[in-house]
């Protein structure tokens, strides 16, 4: 579905009561070429029935949060999902049945069945999945993959270090895993067999090709990721730091605008940037 020039893009947000959901809604409400038409929350959310503008800390929108994903899809040209894995999979099945609208999903922690639901939906509608909507983080992932391709595992060990605020529960972050997956693929390896998430005090020597992960949790850090290529005689570091959560909201919206002009398929931020 392509939005005609001059037409206002109607957007629904799943996970409207969350931190990122609120930022996305606020940015939509600031843009004259977009209209916020729905915000979906959990059935047990204390924000159920709240005005979307109140959640976004802008002027009142005259639209209340609801629990109906179906109503949100009916009202929207585009749905942006920053909710939870179970909700994402359920909505993906709905859009598979109804043939739309285009769907941007930024939910981390998805299992194999959840991803399968997204991929099934992509057979009939455009679907974009991203663990991180930051354009800079996407470029970092691409740069890390290029470095991994050019710097062989036999000569350069790879460590991925990430830092987030104390409230983030998943570790390592979805972005760190995506960086590791890109690097492993560039080296012709499988991350599942090469990743090291825990090192006991009395462990074995580091195997060639291993990709180590370290997660730091503390304070209010928004997010920082580093890929360290460690050789015997030189080292290379690729790093990205998020200084404001607004970058994630802006990235999600820009990805959604791009997605409305695409054919059915499964896309990522790299496609938006032309890196694939």
Residue 55 has a CB neighbour count (10 Å cut-off) of 22
261 assigned binding-site residue: no
| Catalytic center residues | 164, 168
165 assigned binding-site residue: yes
133 assigned binding-site residue: yes
223 assigned binding-site residue: no
131 assigned binding-site residue: yes
Per-residue b or e along 158-185, where b marks 16 or more CB atoms closer than 10 Å to that residue's CB: bbbbbbbeeebeeebbbbbbbbbbbbbe
Q: Nearest Cα to 224, choosing from 134, 148, 145?
A: 134
276 assigned binding-site residue: no
246 assigned binding-site residue: no
* Coil, helix or strand at residue 179: helix
17 assigned binding-site residue: yes
130 assigned binding-site residue: yes
Greatest Cα pair distance, the chain, in angstroms, is 64
16 assigned binding-site residue: yes
Residue 139 has a CB neighbour count (10 Å cut-off) of 16
Count, residues in the chain? 276
Q: How far apart are CA 276 and CA 270, in angstroms?
A: 6
106 assigned binding-site residue: yes
CB-count exposure of residue 200 (10 Å: 0-12, 13-18, 19+): exposed
- Residue ranges for the known binding site are 15-20, 106-108, 130-133, 165, 174-175
- Residue ranges for the known binding site for (S)-2,3,4,5-tetrahydrodipicolinate are 165, 174-175
- Residue ranges for the known binding site for NAD(+) are 15-20, 106-108, 130-133
């Amino acid at each position: 579905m392509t939005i005609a020039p001059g037409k206002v893009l109607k957007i629904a947000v799943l996970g409207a009561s969350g931190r990122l959901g609120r930022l996305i809604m606020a940015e939509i409400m600031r843009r004259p070429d977009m209209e916020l038409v729905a915000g979906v929350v959990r059935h047990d959310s204390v924000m159920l029935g709240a005005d979307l503008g109140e959640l976004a800390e802008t002027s009142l929108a005259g639209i209340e949060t609801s629990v109906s994903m179906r109503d949100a899809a009916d009202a929207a040209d585009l749905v942006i999902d920053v909710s939870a894995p179970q909700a994402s999979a359920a909505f993906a099945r709905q859009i598979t049945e109804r043939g739309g609208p285009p769907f941007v999903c930024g939910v981390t922690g998805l299992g194999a069945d959840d991803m399968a639901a997204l991929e099934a939906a992509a057979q009939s509608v455009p679907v974009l999945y991203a663990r991180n909507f930051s354009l800079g983080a996407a470029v970092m992932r691409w740069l890390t993959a290029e470095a991994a391709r050019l710097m062989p595992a036999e000569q350069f060990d790879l460590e991925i270090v990430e830092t987030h605020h104390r409230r983030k529960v998943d570790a390592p972050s979805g972005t760190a895993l995506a960086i590791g997956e890109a690097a492993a693929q560039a080296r012709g390896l499988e991350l599942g067999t090469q990743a090291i998430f825990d090192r006991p005090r009395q462990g074995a020597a580091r195997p060639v090709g291993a990709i180590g992960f370290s997660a730091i949790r503390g304070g209010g850090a928004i997010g920082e990721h580093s890929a360290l290529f460690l050789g015997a005689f030189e080292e290379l570091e690729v790093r990205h730091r998020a200084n404001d959560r607004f970058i994630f909201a802006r990235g999600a919206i820009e990805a959604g605008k791009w997605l409305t002009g695409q054919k059915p398929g499964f896309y990522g931020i790299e496609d938006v940037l032309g890196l694939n």
